[in-house]
Structures are given as C-alpha cells and as structure tokens.
Amino acid sequence: MSEFERNPGMKIIVAGGSGFIGSHVVDVLLEQGHEVVIYDVDAPRYDQPCAFVRGDIRDIERMTQTLKGADIVYMLAAEANVNRFFESPVFSNDITAGGTLSVLEAVRRAGGQARVILASTEWIYGSLPEAGDEYITEETPYAQNPDHIYTSSKIASELFCKNYNSLYGIPYTIMRFGIPFGDRARPETVTPIFLRRIISGEPITIHGDGSQTRQFIYVRDLARGNAACVTPAAENQVFNLNGGKKISVVEIVRTLEEILGKKAALTFVEDRKGNFKGRFISSEKARKTLGWTPRFDYAEAMRLYVEDYLKNIKS
C-alpha cells in the first residue's frame, strides 16, 4: 500500500492544526486534495487555504458540530511540553488524555462515522536503560511502571481510543511519534534551544552524560506519515512513525556544530527525573502497510532546518 493510495476529497478535521506538527499535516492533506478544517484555540499562521474553527478540544458540543460530515479527525492537540507536565500535571493531563476523551465522545455524539487518528509517542514503551539492538515494535507492551505523567497520559489516550472502539464502534488509528524537529518548531524544544545557544555563544546545559537517545524525525517526513494514515488499511491499527537511527543528545550538538562551523559550550548536570533514556523502535509496519519511510536522514534534515531557521531570523 502506497501512502498516495487514498480516498480523494475526504473531509478531515485537524485538531491542533495550527501547531508545529499539525500545520505540516494540513499542508500535506491539502496537497493530496482533501477538504481540511483546522480546529484549534489558536488561529492558523501559514495562510493555508482551508476552513478554521476556533475551539477547545474539551468543548464537546463545539467539536460535535464541527464533526458533521467528517471522515477523519486528527487528534494532534495535546500538551507536548514534558516540562509543563512536570510542573502542571493536572492541567496537562486534562488537555492530553481528557482532550482525547472529549474528542472521542464528540465523534460518538456526531454519529460515530469519523475515524480518530491519535498522535501518541514512543515514550509509551518506557524508559528502560539502553538495550543494545533490542527490536521494539507496535506489539511491545506499554511501560508497566511509567516514570513520567506525560507517558501515563499518552497511554491513557491510546486506551480511550481502544475503549471507544470496543464499546461504541468508533474507528481509530494510533501513531506513535519519534521526536520531531524542523521548521515551525516550538522554540522551547531541544533542537531550537541548542541552535539558538550555539549561534549566540551561550552555554548548553545537558542533563546526564548526553548519551541518552531519541529517534528524531524530520517534521515533513512525520507529516507524510500522518497523511498516509488516512488509508482504510490503517483503521484500528497502531503505527510507529520514527526516524531510522538513534541520535544521542551529544550528537545533536555535534551535528549543529558541523553545520554552523561553530563550537558549543557544554555544561553537564544531573539527569531529569523520568527522562526517557531511549530504545530502538521499528517503523517497519508503517513501511509495509502504509508505504511510508522517512525521505531525509538526520544530518540532511538538520541542514534544511538550520537553513530555514537562519533565513527566518534574518528576515
């Protein structure tokens, strides 16, 4: 199945469509000829030719009205900042797991026709120490003792989707993301922080020894993976959408140093509580079922991102 084998002209609601990942997903869906409605508390910022509904995902009545005639609703709205989860756990969980439950209930009240495509995370597999070449797939169980509220909230969101499917017949697709980076990224995420600090000559603080890894995924590749999930073959399925290589925190810095031609000043401090250590997670199922693989390797994608970042700060 190719990611471009799709049903043209579908009506798709993108909850969180004004955000970093969501705006890129909207771009790809529009390119593929779908009717897109952005549902968000914030107005779109990128002049996309689609409808916009200002609303909170927890406003079940407003979401129910928006869902009339929709084929798909992307649930991309959530608290994505892990630090805010630590600082404000009740509020963050209400937006993330509570928001997912609200969207599912809105779909049920709207007639149960729309499929919910949920943005989840590789964190749900847990933060065990590095395990060599251990091969993690969608069949790997959830973390049994999650050590971060962010992880628990994402697991709850996934379980709500499965509950609403078994109890009410609401179809779903769950996407477990690697760590996205690229243009339009939130400034408080790791790559933009490191980039700003190297350019300005400020020190970079690294928690732990910097060996912890993530499977970074270029946001344009991730958006393509999101859009590929509209295929009927993705219904009631779970997909990992990750980069194909584990990248350490120190490697992020070294890659940016090489691109910028400038050394970074590093300060190492004690690791954060519940900081995800990183395991290798396979996206082979997405390749086989959706025909999706990342087009850009990490270094190439980072060069594109830095080029875009430098262009924007000069304009």
Q: What distance in Å separates the CA atoms of residue 42 and residue 35, rounded to the nearest whole number?
A: 20
pLDDT at residue number 8: 61
Domain boundaries 11-180+218-242+279-295, corresponding CATH code:
3.40.50.720
**pLDDT tens digits in sequence order for the chain, 315 residues long:** 444 444 568 999 999 999 999 999 999 999 999 999 999 999 999 999 999 999 999 999 999 999 999 999 999 999 988 889 999 999 999 999 999 999 999 999 999 999 999 999 999 998 655 444 578 999 999 988 888 999 999 999 999 999 999 999 999 999 999 999 999 998 888 999 999 999 999 999 998 888 888 889 999 999 999 999 999 999 999 999 999 899 999 999 999 999 999 999 998 887 765 555 557 899 999 999 999 999 999 999 999 999 999 988 875
Report domain extents, the chain.
Answer: 11-180+218-242+279-295
Residue 130 has a pLDDT of: 43
At residue 239, the pLDDT reads: 98
DSSP per residue, 3-67 = TT---TT-EEEEETTTSHHHHHHHHHHHHTT-EEEEEESS--SS--SSEEEE--TT-HHHHHHHT
pLDDT of residue 1: 41
| Beta strands 213-214 and 247-248, pairing class | antiparallel
Q: What is the pLDDT of residue 312?
A: 84
**pTM higher than 0.85 for the full model?**
yes
Can you tell me which residue has the tokens 């009717």?
Answer: 35
pLDDT score, position 131: 42
